[in-house]
Chain A
Amino acid sequence: MAHVELARTAVEELEDLTRTHSLPADTPARVARSLRALERFPRMGPALSGRWEGMRFLLGPWRWMILVYVFIEEEDRVVVVTVQDGRSGSAAAGARRLAASRRAIWMQRDRGGSTSMWRRSPASPAWQDSDMERVLGIGGYFIRAADPVALGTWYRDCLGLDADENGLWRQVAGPTVFATFESETDYFGARAQQAMINFRVGNLEAMLEQLRAKGADVAEETQDMEGVGRFGWVTDPEGNRIELWQPA
């Protein structure tokens, strides 16, 4: 029997749909019933194609509800990764919200000091239409170093992180994953390392080759995850393990 789960984001989407569409209180139970068959038949949902390759879907208790999932065969897990309203009106609304949120913010750095200021476009709606004040994105990442200049140079020369003299780095747009781990995890390498940064890359093999050519401490292993992408790891000269991700 496969273990059926929902990604946190899918649960939030389901909660949002329940609230915004005034769905009945037993909606989670109905969705659970729709998904229950995947325990025995994880390949029951038709396979998606194109950029959705590797994912499958089921229709929920309402036919407009699309439950997109992956079957991680080696772990015998089924995980619903997103819950979407297939009706065009909501799709258009989703597009408007996304476009607005992307325009919404930009960063200005005070040249004279270390403070940074976030601003929101006056035309932009609040993220997820909620009154709650929310953080908007990652505005900086700061690392202790025995030799800060040398470490900054390593990131520039080995990874191509072309920050300016103020440390301002214009990133290529893409997803950011924020996840907490158990304190005992080995995923970050040394236990002393409290956090790990993950950089998106366009070509993992080329990046790893570049790092090796520059004498960096590159992990031998890489990892593929269907529908997610490829992962590799490198440790910087001060012992910080870094994850590299080539999204699918």
Chain B
Amino acid sequence: MERLNVTLDDEQAEKLARLAERMYVQPGTVARSLLSNALDEADPDARNVVELLDGMPGAHERAQLGLAQARTGDTVSLDEL
């Protein structure tokens, strides 16, 4: 087991405190649980996703088109989404 020090900004810290209060547990306990879930979700198995994508005819062609658009700058910034 590894101990980490994590600093939250005010907004996130307040949200965590609210959650902990609602659940009658310590903020650290909630944070640990949420972080564990987030880590699981952040690192899904790429091999499964490749299989999934390969089984979707048209997906690779769409990706190729997207890559070409990336190259030519035919894109929309995340801030404009």
Contacts and interface: CB of A to CB of B under 8 A. Distances in A.
Given A46-B43, A48-B49, A52-B60, A175 B70 contact: no
Contacts of B52: 66, 86, 91
Chain B interface mostly: helix
B69 A36 contact: no
Contacts of B81: 6, 11, 28-29, 31-32
Given A44-B42, A86-B49, A228-B67, A8 B55 contact: no
Interface of A: 3-11, 13, 28-29, 31-32, 35-36, 39, 44, 46-52, 55, 57, 59, 63, 66, 68, 70, 72, 77, 79-82, 84, 86, 88, 91, 94-95, 97-99, 175, 177, 179-181, 225, 227-228, 247-248
Contact of A11 (B42, B68, B76): B76
A10 B74 CA distance: 11
B13 interface: no
A100 B60 CA distance: 17
Contacts of A32: 78-79, 81
Contacts of B41: 59, 63
A175 B43 contact: no
B64 A247 contact: yes
Interface residues of B, number: 37
A7 B65 contact: yes
B50 A7 contact: no
Contacts of B44: 46, 59
B3 to A, nearest CB: 22
Contacts of A44: 42
Interface of B: 41-47, 49-50, 52-72, 74-79, 81
Chain A interface mostly: mixed
Contacts of A6: 75-76, 78, 81
Contacts of A13: 62
A52 B53 contact: yes
Given A48-B46, A59-B41, A82 B72 contact: no
Contacts of B57: 94-95, 98-99
Central interface residue in B55, B56, B66, B79, by most chain A CB within 10 Å: B66
